[in-house]
Amino acid sequence: MGMRTGSPELEANPKSEIRDPRSDEVDIALCRSILYEALALGFRPPTPETISRLASAEGAHALAAAAAVLDSVWDSDLAPLAHRPSAPRPPCSLADFHASFRRLFGHTARGAAPPYETEYGEDALFQPPQEMSDLGGFYQAFGLTLRPSEHERIDHIACECEFLLFLARKEAYALVHDDAAMLEETRRATRLFLRDHLGRWAPAFGRKLGREGQGGFYGALGDLLVGFVAHECARVGVAAGPDLLRLRSASLGDAPMACGSGDDLLQIESPARIGEAE
């Protein structure tokens, strides 16, 4: 992963290797995108891909390798957390995954660990609609469309992780193509989204999921979310949310809005501007 510069002689001698610092930034952005992709996949309803990519030894090794790159830069300990979703034994079947998914997330917004941002926070009549509107503004500003056929809400944890996956890959693209304007706008959007959305509520959701799903796949995924988001917030200089957030007394109910798939998101090539940072 990444690019290197230098003559064949330098490549043959690791001690003399000249690295382009920007290639390191590309590697970091791509590894961040891999973790966001894993989280987005893991929090969607389980499929055979969930098992093969996240709950198998091979999938866990690939995810841990990406996490290890970040550990080397951030002095973090994400690689062991990335291995844990594959740890439960005996191996779980897809039916087992569905049973755990239903138990933890339920058929409505209020399962044991609600995966929706607007379920968390103080009771305020206009706050949840404002948060949903702000989320929609982020997605639309980058040309991302909502897919009503999925019947999912735009404040779902998988949708928010998928958006940050898109931004991380867009950041890598901007670095490779030396597009300073795109790089600045993408990094700014990442910071604002972590500050106002994912970084605000993911720690509480992840901690709750870790407790409710302790010893299982989803508990391990919650722990990975907490660790990764904490380092992401520190990286961009914003405070991560608390470990505990109260649930609002009233749900927004189902909203017929959803993010597109990861493939859909990556078709976008140029960003639009989001409102001014404070």
Query: 149-169 pLDDT, tens per residue?
Result: 667 899 999 999 999 999 999
The burial of 180, by beta-carbon neighbours within 10 Å (0-12 exposed, 13-18 middle, 19 or more buried), is given as: exposed
Q: Name the range with the highest mean pLDDT among 8-12, 41-45, 247-251.
A: 41-45
**Element housing 65 (H / E):** helix 57-74
Cβ of 212: how many Cβ atoms within 10 Å? 18
For 36-156, list the strands marked E by DSSP. none
Q: What confidence tens digit (pLDDT) does each residue in 27-76 have?
A: 999 999 999 999 999 999 999 999 999 999 899 999 999 999 999 999 99
According to the model, what pLDDT value does residue 108 have? 61
Does the pLDDT at position 1 exceed 70? no
Q: Name the range with the highest mean pLDDT among 13-17, 28-32, 248-252.
A: 28-32
| Cα separation, 39 vs 157, whole angstroms | 9
Q: What percent of the chain has pLDDT over 70?
A: 77
207 vs 8, which has greater pLDDT? 207
The burial of 196, by beta-carbon neighbours within 10 Å (0-12 exposed, 13-18 middle, 19 or more buried), is given as: middle
Does the pLDDT at position 95 exceed 50? yes
